Amino acid sequence: SYSFGVPVAQVCEVEDREDGLAVTGLWIAAEVGRVLDPVNIEAQLSGGALFGLGHAMHGEITFEGHMPRQSNFHDFRSLRLHQTPPVTVRAMGSGGPIRGAGEPGLPPAAPALGNAIFAATGTRLREMPFARGVRFA
């Protein structure tokens, strides 16, 4: 993904268990330019990616009477703590200009998860949230 001027790659690992699919690992590599605070960059990239995973799995806006049923984040199902995989982040510091690290972690999360689901199950999901087509542990 090339998001907000930052190239980001993600690999997601999914395990097909009796109680549903479990995301067991997430790896992120990003070219963020100059790395001033590696801990902050790791938190930013992993937070964005986990937010993206939660929405890819469960995020949905539904309507009733031409009005959205969800008004804010409290109305959405999110990624639960027991569903949160270990995340490994590699910030590729080229020494170039400093770029953002918060938003770029989000866009590649859904494609990485979709590819991992396909690798684990042989099913290519074409609609989100993915919970419509598979069950998550």
**Single pTM value for the model:** 0.92
pLDDT score, position 8:
96
Strand extents, DSSP E, the chain: 2-3, 6-17, 20-30, 63-64, 67-68, 87-91
- Read off the pLDDT of residues 64-76 as tens digits, 9 standing for 90 and up: 999 999 998 888 8
- Read off the pLDDT of residues 12-35 as tens digits, 9 standing for 90 and up: 999 999 999 999 999 999 999 998
Distance from C-alpha of 126 to C-alpha of 23, rounded to nearest angstrom: 19
pLDDT score, position 75:
87
pLDDT > 90? residue 1: yes
